Chain A
Amino acid sequence: MTVAPGEPGALTPEESLLRDMARDFAERELAPGAAERDEAERFDRALFDRMGELGFTAAPFPESIGGAGFSYRAWTLAMEEVARADMAMAIALSVHVLSQYPVHTWGSDEQRARWLPAMLAGEALGAFALTEPHAGSDAAAIRTRATRVGPAAAPDGYRLDGTKSWISNAPEADRYLVFATLDPGLGRDGITAFLVEKGMPGFRPGRHERKMGIRACPASELIFEGCEVAVANRLGGEGEGYRIALSALGEGRISIAAACTGLAQAALEVGARYLTERVAFGVPLAEQQGLRFVLAEMAQQVAAARALTRAAAAAKDRGEPIAEASSLAKWTASDAAMRVTTDAVQLLGAAGYSRENPVERYMRDAKGAQIYEGTNQIHRLIVAEHVLARVSGS
């Protein structure tokens, strides 16, 4: 296969095999049922399990901890292919990795050994629980309370009370990375991360979110009522949770950007095919220069999304700071996905508006990506902060 526009360079042999295999799997196993799962709002755990067996759930983790040993750049290739067939599954997978990456980065050896194997194998599904009904962009304002149990200086554990909302995978998940505050008055310095497992007394999924798009990726509230968590399940130190969340989201955003690139790519392909097939005024639509311009701009958006996504992933692989690069990639790629999917609906006319064709689903699936893992307004703030810091630093 040739190198896709926006791809910064040749792929390694392993990356190409991964991309081909992911494409093959996604086209044959994910694409056929994607519309039905969207319609029924059904998450197919058996399909996720299959992705676990093949190692998708272990892709960007080192072999030393039982991962598949791919770079983050390679991971974005796989995410792109999964999303090209099924954005909802791509987001479920992305969130699954988002919820375990911090355990790899911040966990103790004991926590990694206990928490990661089942997640790497895809046997335990992960969720990442930060957002609350009154605190989204302003994540430092969360109110879910972690109360120390036992002596304050050396607690035996923590009791969690509060409600999370919009937690992807929550209704089906087995392992949750939960952020709570020791004292809302402390702001970000009070936030602490906890590992919570399905079946622990005192917590349950609440109301399902009724979503516009990625409807086959389940999301719900999570309700904590005196849920006791042992100290061994605290990830990082007290008050380190905010930093952990930000670092996880830095990685997660690159993966969301990759998914958006794949979604936009899918819409571009459907649009291009339609222009060659549909005849109006005696000629294929592709003969209309006005529509060719639309198509070219769609291709431009996809290539730009891909280029920034790979650049951010490569920065992560080099161990560089990624906050700015991942914000640029996620913001650009999700806007690209929104624009390209909307254009695809327009190119197809009524056929595009029909649920008989996939592009209306692509369009609904794109919208959320401008909101979750940091709204695109928040990404503008992050980018501006970096630009200003460079100016004042010089």
Chain B
Amino acid sequence: MRIVVLVKAVPIVGNERLGDGFRVDRGSGLEPNGNDEYVLEAALKLTEAHGGEVTLLTMGPAAAADALRKGLAMGATRAVHVSDEALAGSCARATAEVLAAALRRLEYDLAFAGADTSDGQGGIVAAAIAARLGLPYLSYAAHIEPGADGATVRVHRLSPAGYDVLEAPMPALVMGTQVLGEPRYPSLRGIMQARGKETLTWSLADLGIDPARVGAAAATTRVLTAAPPPPRAGATIIRDAPDVAVERIVDFLAARSLV
């Protein structure tokens, strides 16, 4: 089973800063998007159980290599890094176009994406890629397994009532949730082995994409404004013994009609 996992390199959670033009500043360290680590974990488990390999695919600045390195250390086989100056400021549409073009150049049975990203939080890129490539799109996966015939994939999709069981022919694109299970820590040996793994760097020219179609100038959406959240109001910290503490918390919530 060949799985491509889409990984976005996001600013380190807790360190996010707004840069010019309301854009997220990517200059002070990047890490793999948290949700993407969950689907990477699912991909690693599937290939460990059924054979195959995992390819990481990212579009991002040079520093995205750090995020890819962690994915390789966790056990991915190789990484593909789409990087081009012209990509800065790309909207979701352009991102989907670029990643779809990269996927066309890869051989795979499944492509995985996380539910959304901690910086953009759009949650639409994966669906847009599936639409462009004409792939079945199985979203909100809580469990992923190969179908009985080896040519299909079966997914439990979270629903308000529990889950739906979806099956689709491969290749398919699966968008996963954190219910898939905690990502592993990269092992120390994994970290060292990642040094020897292949990372392909592709430019827009490699993908045959006209730079005029991507980047800030070609964006089909515009951020009108953005601001850091207001500082948190003074928290009430309750340090009493559990019985007293529970009572005080319930009173606090009851006073605001929250329980």
Known: A25-B185, A69-B189. 11 other contacts (CB 8 A): A17-B186, A24-B185, A54-B187, A55-B187, A55-B188, A55-B190, A56-B188, A58-B189, A68-B189, A68-B192, A78-B188
Q: Verify if A150 is at the interface (C-beta below 8 Å from B).
A: no
Contact of B191 among A1, A17, A25 (CB under 8 A): A17
Bound CA–CA A17/B73 (angstroms): 9
A18 contacts the other chain (Cβ, under 8 Å)?
Answer: yes
| Nearest CB on A from B205, distance (A) | 27
Neighbouring B residues of A18 by C-beta, 8 Å: 188, 191
A-B contact pairs, 15 of them (CB 8 A): A1-B29, A16-B66, A18-B188, A20-B70, A21-B186, A54-B188, A55-B187, A55-B189, A56-B188, A59-B188, A63-B192, A68-B189, A68-B191, A70-B188, A277-B237
Interface residues of B (CB under 8 A from A): 12, 29, 66, 69-70, 73, 185-192, 194-195, 237, 239
Query: Per-residue CB proximity of A44-68 to B under 8 Å, as 1/0?
Result: 0000000001111011000100001
A13 adjacent to chain B (CB < 8 Å): yes
Contact with B along A1-44 (1 / 0, CB 8 A): 10000000000011011101100110000000000000000000
Query: Across the interface, which residues of B come within 8 angstroms of A1, CB to CB?
Result: 12, 29
Closest to B31 in A: A20
Name the residue on A nearest B190 (C-beta).
Answer: A55
User: Interface size (A, Cβ < 8 Å)?
Assistant: 23
The one of A16, A21, A69, A78 in contact with B185, judged by C-beta atoms closer than 8 angstroms, is A21
The tally of CB-CB contacts under 8 A between chains A and B is 50
Sorted nearest first, the 3 A-B pairs with minimum C-beta distance are: A55-B188, A68-B188, A69-B192
**CA A1 – CA B12 in complex, angstroms?**
8
A59–B192 Cα distance when bound, in Å, is 10
| B5 CB to nearest chain A CB (Å) | 18
Q: Which residue of A lies closest to B191 (CB)?
A: A17
Give the docked Cα–Cα distance between A70 and B186 (Å): 14
Give complex CA distance A24, B66 in Å: 16
Which A residues lie within 8 Å of B195 (CB)? 14
Given A1-B12, A1-B29, A14:B186 Cβ within 8 A: no
Q: Which of A25, A68, A356 has the most CB of B within 10 A?
A: A68
Q: Which residues of B contact A78 (CB under 8 A)?
A: 188
Q: Which of B12, B29, B187, B192 contacts A14 (CB 8 A)?
A: B192
A18–B191 alpha-carbon span in the complex (Å): 7
Distance of A53 Cα from B184 Cα, bound (Å): 12
Query: What is the bound-complex CA distance between A20 and B187, given in angstroms?
Result: 12
Complex CA distance for A268 and B186, rounded to whole angstroms: 28
* B191 engages A14 (CB within 8 Å): yes
**In this complex, what residue of A is CB-closest to B184?**
A54
Residue among B29, B191, B237, B239 making CB contact with A21, cutoff 8 Å = B191
Question: Which residue in chain B gives the minimum CB-CB distance to A69?
Answer: B192
